[in-house]
Amino acid sequence: MSGRTPGGTPHSHDWIPPVVLTIAGFDPSNGAGITADLQVFAAHGLFGTACITALTVQSTQGVAAVEPVSHLIGSTLEHLNADLPAAGIKIGMLGSVEAVRAVAGFLREFRKAGVPVVLDPVMRSSSGARLLSEEGVAALRAELLPLVDWITPNLDELGDLAELPGESAEEALAELRGRFPRLHIIATGGDSDGEAVDKLLTSEGALHHFGGARIETTSTHGTGCAFSSALLSRLVLGDEPVAAVAAAKMFVRESLYLAPGLGKGRGPLNLSWRLARMS
């Protein structure tokens, strides 16, 4: 018999899931952004809350329009923090310079020590649509990167953040670590032409490589969102950095293998596969 009454206080022996927060855009096709992050959190046994930064018109075939809702971000984050403080925070698509500054302001004022923050610096959609202006990228670099613990850029985003477009991943990683020595930086390799190798440069300066065979599939919509939210989940559950990256990569790999094959374009992953196996 459950030790919990409906709407009541749980008994001390009940496990209460950690609360994790995603700050990202809304994808109505349910492949990326807020809804994808919440699926990943649930698959790891965590309770997800969300702050929407932008509404989008999109499907598996691409992004048609973006409407920022930056005027609601500050109050949303304050209300959530007062009632459901997060044990970990994932930041995805911000969509505007105002959103970047609102999130940075929240972290400066309310973030507690020991709460990991993972930033997936979304600047363009997988179909190539620009999702953050040059001014927004500059604000992200100057105001947000000093406040987060992890960033998970793809190779193009890594070059933009390091202001070394076209240079090698190792050079860009070293440049960013020189500017932000407390960062763990993962250069994700899913967009490269060869083997999908992710590179982790830790805040201690150690470089780790995570290889993996490329999965031939058109169901790749939201892989970056899934990886960063899975990484945050593993960190909140207590994994050390290298183990957290390896577990997040495995989660995404399985989500790709088990993708349902929906849509006419870049289809969604199967982010609920762990829950299906438990049922």
**pLDDT the model gives residue 126:** 66
What is the length of the chain? 279
Q: What is the pLDDT of residues 13-41, one digit of tens each?
A: 577 999 999 999 999 999 999 999 999 99
CATH fold label, 19-273: UDP-N-acetylmuramoyl-L-alanine:D-glutamate ligase (3.40.1190)
Q: What is the pLDDT of residues 79-106, one digit of tens each?
A: 999 999 999 999 999 999 999 999 999 9
For β-strands 198-201 and 207-210, DSSP reports them as antiparallel
Question: Among residues 199, 250, 252, which one has the least CA distance to residue 223?
Answer: 252
Radius of gyration from C-alpha coordinates of the chain: 18
Separation CA 145–CA 189 (nearest Å) = 21
Kindly give, in sequence order, each residue whose CB lies less than 8 Å from that of residue 204, ignoring residues fewer than 6 positions away.
none
At residue 216 the predicted structure's pLDDT band, cuts being 50, 70 and 90, is: confident
Separation CA 87–CA 236 (nearest Å) = 7
Residue type at 129 in one-letter notation: A
**pLDDT the model gives residue 279:** 60
Residue 175 pLDDT greater than 50, yes or no? yes
